Amino acid sequence: MASLHNRPLFVVSALVVPLLTLAAPGVLRIGGVPPSWAVLWLLPWSLADGPLSGALAGLALGLLLDCLQLGGATQMPALALLGWWWGRLPRRGPPIERSFSLGLLAMLGSAVLGASVLLQRQAGGGWAALLTAASLHTLLAQVLVTALLAPMICSLLLLLWRRHSASARG
Amino acid sequence: MPFGRLSRVPWLGQVVGAWPLALVAIALVAVRLSKGALLSDAYALLSRPFWPGSAQKEWLQAAQQLDQQTRLSQLELDNRRLRSLLDLQRADPGTVTAPVISREPGGWWHQLVLGVGGLQGIRAGDSVIGPGGLIGRVESVTPTTARVALLTDTASKVGVWVGRTQRHGLLTGVGSSRPVLRFLEKDPQVRPGDVVVTSPASTLVPPGLSVGVIQSVDDKAVPATLAVVQLSAPVASVDWVQVLTRREAAPAGP
């Protein structure tokens, strides 16, 4: 199964994430908040390539994204954790491929990622600074738009990568 | 029946019959007593199609604007000269016009990426102004790009000044499109509509740049008054900005 990371083209496709984060296309936003592109790429990668590869991909994506953002907050731990968790999921039962499941997983992942960023950036001010209207708005909007995009983007990527893994196995 | 007998008096009948004339007379007296209000109003109503149109108003406004612009540029020149006399602002800031190549005014980080960088003389800490006023400060620089932390970012803190009441405050981003102005004293006597500019005592940003307008004031905030500020520059739709580069301070003369 673990053969995606042997294909340079698939690995290079991760570079689309920082590019999309920078470009931030205006149509794919809710209330001015863009989706979490890292979650949308990492979810199918981990599901198709296993926990170790998922965690490493999460770490690499986190490194890439951290150097694009202001300040000292990091997304690495949350992304690595998500990659590891999503990589372990297919072992337990039937493969995850339904749109609803993908949307739900992307929703949870985006919420975890957003909460980790929020905690790092605003924990200094106590609860009052954490639960402002602006932070709740950003969190909810990002979770919503990520979950809405996940069935479209993640299904296609998962289909492509599953087919490749299957053909690589023979 | 006294009324029946009175109505048979010949001249009184004529007087009673002339009641329309009496009404007209009363109306005239009313016009006189009200200093011609009725007449003026009727004249205004009738002559409305012939009033001076918008064209004339625009000419007057254009003339006023030109006058104000010339006075503004004159005052800016004066101000710069006086500041240099006072040795307040040693380095005259140069401006670099920069395109915005990435814009993220929503989300967790409020930032712009500009298409100019260290090669053009941009350094971290430079102020960035858009059409309408200050929008942020340069946070980091690469050879060809610069990352700008907007005033709305949670990490942004800039000293500002309310000109009308002459009070200092700290403009802090809260992650929404409107930053919060924290005053240093309990009763700063500001009200919605006051204009906020950068502090004349600030060392981080050039003094006197317009920042925004106070939108609402919370007097009961602890420990001191809070105000919500609407930025005057449209951050979400700005395409080109100007970076105020600070040259090296000239060595102080003898």
Q: What is the pLDDT of residue B41?
A: 84
Measured between CA atoms, the residue of chain A closest to residue B176 is A134
| CATH class of the structural domain A4-169 | mainly alpha
* Segments making up each domain of chain B, as ranges: 12-48, 61-90, 91-245
Q: For residue A106, is pLDDT > 90?
A: yes
Higher pLDDT, A159 or B251: A159
Burial per residue of B191-210, b for 16 or more beta-carbon CB atoms within 10 angstroms, e otherwise = eeebbbbbbeebeebbbebb
Whether the pLDDT of residue A76 is over 70: the answer is: yes
Contact B108 A134 (CB under 8 A): no
Assigned superfamily of B91-245: Rod shape-determining protein MreC, domain 1 (2.40.10.340)
Side-chain-side CA neighbours of B76 within 13 Å: the count stands at: 10
Burial of B110 (0-12, 13-18, 19+ CB in 10 A): buried
Tokens 């749109």 -> residue = A99
Residue-level length of chain A: 170
What is the number of alpha carbons within 13 Å of residue B46 lying toward its C-beta?
Answer: 6
Mean pLDDT, residues A119-128: 76
Q: Is residue A50's pLDDT more than 90?
A: no
- What residue in B sits closest to A138 (Cα-Cα)? B107
Quick check: A37 and A15 in contact, CB under 8 A?
no
Q: Are A122 and A114 contacting, i.e. CB atoms less than 8 angstroms apart?
A: no
Q: Where are the domains of chain A?
A: 4-169
Is the pLDDT assigned to residue A170 strictly greater than 70? no
DSSP secondary structure string for all residues of B20-84: HHHHHHHHHHHHHHTTTHHHHHHHHHHHGGGS--HHHHHHHHHHHHHHHHHHHHHHHHHHHHHHH
8 Å CB contact of A132 and B109:
no
Q: Quote the distance between the C-alpha of residue A38 and its chain's center.
A: 4
Residue A135 to residue B109, Cβ atoms within 8 A:
no
What's the confidence (pLDDT) of residue B247? 62
Mind telling me how many Å the CA of A149 is from chain B's nearest CA?
Answer: 16
- Least confident range from A159-163, B171-175, B246-250: namely B246-250
CB contacts < 8 A, A to B, total 55
DSSP H or E run through B244: strand B240-245
pLDDT beyond 50 at A1: no
CB < 8 Å to A23, chain B? 102
- Measured distance between the N- and C-terminal CA atoms of chain A, rounded to whole angstroms: 11
> Cα Rg for chain B, rounded, in angstroms?
32
pLDDT digit string (tens) for B94-112? Answer: 888 999 998 887 888 888 9
ipTM reported for the complex surpasses 0.85:
no
The tokens describing B252, both together, are 């102080």
Which pLDDT band, with edges at 50, 70 and 90, does B251 fall under? very low
pLDDT tens profile B209-236: 899 999 999 888 877 888 999 999 888 8
The span from the CA of B83 to the CA of B93, in Å, is: 13
pLDDT tens track for B145-196: 999 999 998 888 899 999 888 889 999 988 888 999 998 888 888 899 999 9
pLDDT at B252: 42
What span, in angstroms and rounded, lies between the C-alpha atoms of B180 and B28? Answer: 62
Q: How far apart are CA A109 and CA A43, in angstroms?
A: 8
What residue of B is the nearest CA neighbor of A115? B108
Residue of A45, A38, A41 whose CA lies nearest to A65: A38
Q: Three-state DSSP class for B200? A: coil
pLDDT of residue B7: 65
DSSP structure class, residue B196: E
Burial of B1 (0-12, 13-18, 19+ CB in 10 A): exposed
As a whole number, the mean pLDDT across chain B is 84
What per-residue confidence (pLDDT) applies to A22? 87
